[in-house]
Amino acid sequence: GDAAPDDVAKYGYGDAAPDDIAKYGYGDASPDEAAPAGARMPRRSSMKGSSSSSARRRASLGACAGETMEVYLPGKREPVKRRRSITFKEQVKVQPMEPAKSLAENPESLWFQEDEYEKIKMKTVALIHKVAEDGTLDGKKYCTRGLEKWMTPEATQVKKRQAWDNVLNEQYLQRQEGAFNDEQLALMYKHSTARSQMEASKRASKDAQEVEGYLKSTRRFQRRMSM
């Protein structure tokens, strides 16, 4: 039917005028008009449930054996084959979760606010500037775990740039020789970060010992209180 005045005001369109037909090439469709040869049919709707084949496509993904791709790497004449696949479990398990806002009368108390983050940041910066590298100040030990790179920023930058240089130099040499070896690049980076891995392992062992000591003292205290 004709477009109502409200539709024209709301959506900005109305009936096609003769000028529109000449400009855009459309008008009222006639039942006798046949689609021209080679004309493209409109695409199917992307709305859910509009296509009966969508369910079949989703179901067939679980049985997909995988797709093999050929990747051409620099310095390699023959492509390297890579395989990828995707599968879905037939059974779905749903775990209902209680909204966090219902856990407290004041939901804002469940997480830090912006002003609290600023206070934490200011205290951390003050701690970094005052304590020594071993985390001591006036004979008192402070926890600086996670602040190591801020305690010695110069040494951290040196380690990072040394690792970059080693990898980039190896990459440059490979390109000069017309070769490509990703495993060698990974090995160069591994050698460059070996010291950092060792230091991290020592800190983790030390933390584990401190936690174990804390748990033992807590258990002894609980046993005394239960007697």
Taking the C-alpha atoms of residue 181 and residue 150, their distance in angstroms, rounded to an integer, is: 35
pLDDT score of 149: 86
User: What is the residue type of 121?
Assistant: K
Nearest to 200 by CA among 133, 165, 149, 131: 149
pLDDT at 213 over 70: yes
170: Cβ contacts below 8 Å, ≥ 6 apart: 184, 185, 188
- Per DSSP, 16 falls in state P
Number of helices (H) and strands (E) in the chain: give both, helices first: 8, 4
pLDDT in tens, 151-186: 888 888 999 999 999 999 999 999 999 888 989 999
pLDDT in tens, 106-153: 888 888 999 999 999 999 999 888 888 778 888 888 888 888 888 888
Taking the C-alpha atoms of residue 105 and residue 31, their distance in angstroms, rounded to an integer, is: 66
Confidence tier at 5 by pLDDT (50, 70, 90): low
Confidence tier at 9 by pLDDT (50, 70, 90): low
Residues 20-37, mean pLDDT to the nearest whole number: 46
pLDDT score of 52: 46
pLDDT score of 19: 52
Identify the H or E element spanning 151: helix 148-151
Taking the C-alpha atoms of residue 205 and residue 212, their distance in angstroms, rounded to an integer, is: 11
